[in-house]
Structure 1
Amino acid sequence: MAEPLQKKLQAEVEKYQQLQKDISKCMSSRQKLEAQLTENNIVQEELGFLDASNSVFKLIGPVLVKQDMEEAKATVGKRLEYIAGEIKRYEAQMQDLERKSEQQRDLLGRLQQDFQKAQAPGKAAALKA
């Protein structure tokens, strides 16, 4: 009786561990996006200090290429929108994974109790002998 329950418990533990790894990956990706967001906000702020007489350059490979000021501002604005959207997507994904993790943790608790109950009669018989 206890052996099939033990195998099921082990499989559910592995699922829980995988969920924890997925949450960790998601958090790491979100942190990288937060860093990019901060960096791009600083770039946008710096572009705001410039006027039309200033030159803006874009790094393409090892070369700096002159870029139109309005094009640079539009590019940074679009990049900020994209990053903000990705952050929202990762937040939703993390909430979903955390919800699944909590459900898995509850399931593991119930299975562990069932496993302990299944082992209890075996221990009682061993103590009587």
Structure 2
Amino acid sequence: MDQHMMTRVQEAYQAEYKTFQAFNAPIQNLQANKARLLAQIQETADVQSELALVDESDGAVYKMFGPVLVKQDLDEAKGNTAKRMAFMQGQLASIDKELNTKRDEQNKSKQKVQQIQELFTNAQNELRARAAAQASSAQ
């Protein structure tokens, strides 16, 4: 492998490494969104648990609208909470799917980087061996 080819391999390595690194920011954003959503899911699960404890005959449920607490029907509150939970579970599934896709793409890019590194290392070793052979034959 000549010097020109070595330069091309190095350029390919740099380009693929940039591609690999470009996945870091979106993956971190997705992880942050997932953590935030998991916290909201936990809060909603806590609300569902609390609503399950409320006695329909005397328990009052209030919902905050801005600075005002408004009385809400218990069944309506349970229904709204269940809908919110289902919606957030759907969002979580979507984020997980996108996160897995990004990680798979990043792993493929990482494998390409490793292959190019191996090719580059082998080419360097080949050039060193040629140089050593030429040096020993010149003596």
- For normalisation by structure 2, the TM-score amounts to 0.80
Of structures 1 and 2, the larger Rg is shown by 2
Name the aligned partner's letter for residue 69 of structure 2.
Answer: L
Number of residue pairs matched by the alignment: 129
Name the aligned partner's letter for residue 34 of structure 1.
Answer: L
Aligned to 1:67: 72
Partner SS state of residue 57, structure 1:
strand
- Once the two structures are overlaid, the 10-residue window that deviates more, 73-82 or 47-56, is 47-56
CA deviation string 1:70-114 (max 9, x = no partner): 111111000110111111111212221221121111100111122
1:2 paired to 2:6: yes
Aligned CA RMSD, in angstroms, stands at 2.3
Shift of 1:12: 0.9
Among candidates 73, 76, 91, match of residue 81 of structure 2: 76
Among candidates 32, 51, 54, match of residue 50 of structure 1: 54
Partner SS state of residue 115, structure 2:
helix
CA deviation string 1:28-53 (max 9, x = no partner): 21111111111101101101111232
- Once the two structures are overlaid, the 10-residue window that deviates more, 84-93 or 1-10, is 1-10
- Once the two structures are overlaid, the 10-residue window that deviates more, 33-42 or 114-123, is 114-123
Partner SS state of residue 23, structure 2:
helix
- For normalisation by structure 1, the TM-score amounts to 0.85
Aligned to 2:15: 11
Percent identical among aligned pairs is 30
